[in-house]
Structure 1
Amino acid sequence: MGKRILITNDDGIDGDGIVLLEKVARMFTDDVWVVAPDEERSGAGHSMSINHPIRIRQRDERHWAVRGTPTDCALLGIHELIPGKRPDIILSGINRGPNLGEDVTYSGTCSAAMEGAVLGIPAIALSQIIRYKSTIHWPTAARYAPEVLGPLLDMEWAPGQFVNVNFPNCPPEDVSRIRVTTLGQRPEGAFRPVGRVDERHVPYWWIKINFPEGGNEPGNDLQAALDNEVSVTPLRLDMTDRLAHERMQTLF
């Protein structure tokens, strides 16, 4: 039977990436369960629904659509919907678009994996990098996801750890290698509010996504994307700045 895998995402239960991820997961085990949002929840971050009820719709024995966030889906899958033992691992994705650098703080895909880490369950977020209004290279994710997941599924995981994987924006034959990376940070300005006025002359805003160039350094995930590498970034819940912690001891 193998490991029990819970799959979720933030693009919605009918997204191309989650369908692909389930096919890949079934290469390793038959014990695969899908609990995912009923529609796209990109940018949901590590949010959960605490001010309104969460409705679910069961598609079949192992698939549930949830009117809630990716974090809600992880919680429901772990605590309520999957019978018997808890999942051995959570896979979140495959996201349609990058989750590089500071994206992990906004990303519902990464946050579902983060919730797994909170609950002591190994978790992996996976994303296929794209350029908007261009072809998305799903064959690249299909080709390299098994190579990435195989070692990670067998890895010894530390408490509070999760992993962020990004497949490069190129055909599979152009991928240079799989690389373990650090988390980069782009220059400011990736997200900007853009104002509009509706037909009743009431202002409203869209958040425009426009990733600025820069922030790439040797060994980080932004550089890996430029080099057509599959980026595998180990992350952890403990965000303490150790150097600042030491320096600030003299302040208080």
Structure 2
Amino acid sequence: MSKGMRILITNDDGIDSEGIRLLERVALQFSDDVWVVAPDGERSGAGHAISISHPIRIRKRDDRHFAVQGTPTDCALLGIHELIAGKQPDVVLSGVNRGPNLAEDVTYSGTCSAAMEGAVLGIPAIALSQFYRYQGQLHWPTAERYAPVVLEQLLNMDWQHGQFVNVNFPECPPEDVKGIRVTRLGLRPGGSFRPVGRVDERHVPYWWIKINFPDGGHELENDLQAIRDNEVSVTPLRLDMTDYHGMERLRTLF
């Protein structure tokens, strides 16, 4: 891609998050045609949801920054189809997310889903996340140093329709990063999310969803292990989620 490429940035942490400001600084190293269309507040865990039962309101911050009362996927759709004048973006960048998007996280993640929507529309798309444990230290300098290194390669590769890439930066200072590993999605043991009951002051029950990632997925080629080894994880993904081995098994049944 050329220096004149058009870049659309979004995320699920909101337009005022540190991660999206970081990603915009990085994107401006590659192009001066950078647009930000992002939720007006946090939409973590929104998945690939779209707003089909209520209107979406937009607040224009300036000519290239738009805050959206909607999901990350709404933001990708509005940026691609409505808010960017002249031509569609050449690439969609989603992030940098505050926290990991590894293994099965991809199915819940608004960050990854915004990139997925780019892939649906045939636009190269990359999701980026900085690993972080609750109440731990956020190593934003790691993402800021390594995002340009990763994007330099990804923005110039031969993209196929329906493909997007998921990038995770490890939980360590930049000087402790061991390298960049191309990975596949890992799989943790079940039980990352649990409803925890509470009772409010009027004695009415309610629930929080507690996040507690179980240890697991210790396999050399997967994204979980790369992050444990202080490596940047780069995972190519496709919209086609067909289980091809499962097809063969099912053909014996039908």
Structure-2-length-normalised TM-score: 0.98
* Counterpart contact for 1:3–1:88, Cα < 8 Å: yes
1:14-33 to structure 2, matched below 5 A, reads 14-33=16-35
Name the structure 1 match of 2:138: 136
* Counterpart contact for 1:127–1:167, Cα < 8 Å: yes
Q: Which runs of 5+ in 1 are unaligned?
A: none
Following superposition, the deviation at residue 166 of structure 1 comes to 0.1
Name the structure 2 match of 1:242: 244
Q: Distance in 2 between matches of 1:106 and 1:250?
A: 33
Q: Distance in 1 between matches of 2:103 and 2:218?
A: 9
* Counterpart contact for 1:56–1:64, Cα < 8 Å: yes
* Counterpart contact for 1:117–1:159, Cα < 8 Å: yes
Q: Distance in 1 between matches of 2:43 and 2:133?
A: 19
Q: Distance in 1 between matches of 2:134 and 2:200?
A: 26
Q: Distance in 1 between matches of 2:115 and 2:69?
A: 18
1:213 to 187, 212, 215: 215
Following superposition, the deviation at residue 132 of structure 1 comes to 1.0
Q: Distance in 2 between matches of 1:130 and 1:76?
A: 29
Following superposition, the deviation at residue 20 of structure 1 comes to 0.3
1:66 to 53, 68, 74: 68
Name the structure 1 match of 2:104: 102
Q: Distance in 2 between matches of 1:3 and 1:154?
A: 11
1:151 to 134, 150, 153: 153
Structure-1-length-normalised TM-score: 0.99
Name the structure 2 match of 1:36: 38
Answering whether residue 15 of structure 2 is matched by residue 10 of structure 1, we say no
* Counterpart contact for 1:128–1:141, Cα < 8 Å: yes
Partner of 2:26: helix, strand, or coil?
A: helix
Structure 1 ranges of 4+ moved more than 3 A = none
Following superposition, the deviation at residue 159 of structure 1 comes to 1.0
Following superposition, the deviation at residue 231 of structure 1 comes to 0.2
2:206 to 201, 204, 212: 204
Q: Distance in 2 between matches of 1:216 and 1:205?
A: 32
* Counterpart contact for 1:120–1:160, Cα < 8 Å: yes
Name the structure 1 match of 2:176: 174
Partner of 1:182: helix, strand, or coil?
A: coil
1:48-104 Cα shifts (integer Å, max 9, x gaps):
000100000000000000000000000000000000110000000000000000000
Partner of 2:42: helix, strand, or coil?
A: coil
What is the identity percentage for the equivalent residue pairs of Structure 1 and Structure 2? 78
Following superposition, the deviation at residue 154 of structure 1 comes to 0.5
What amino acid does structure 1 have at the position aligned with 2:78? L
What amino acid does structure 1 have at the position aligned with 2:122? G
Q: Distance in 1 between matches of 2:17 and 2:151?
A: 20
Following superposition, the deviation at residue 19 of structure 1 comes to 0.1
What amino acid does structure 2 have at the position aligned with 1:91? L
Q: Which runs of 5+ in 2 are unaligned?
A: none
* Counterpart contact for 1:45–1:107, Cα < 8 Å: yes
Q: Distance in 2 between matches of 1:29 and 1:47?
A: 30
2:52 to 50, 53, 56: 50
What amino acid does structure 2 have at the position aligned with 1:212? P
* Counterpart contact for 1:185–1:216, Cα < 8 Å: no
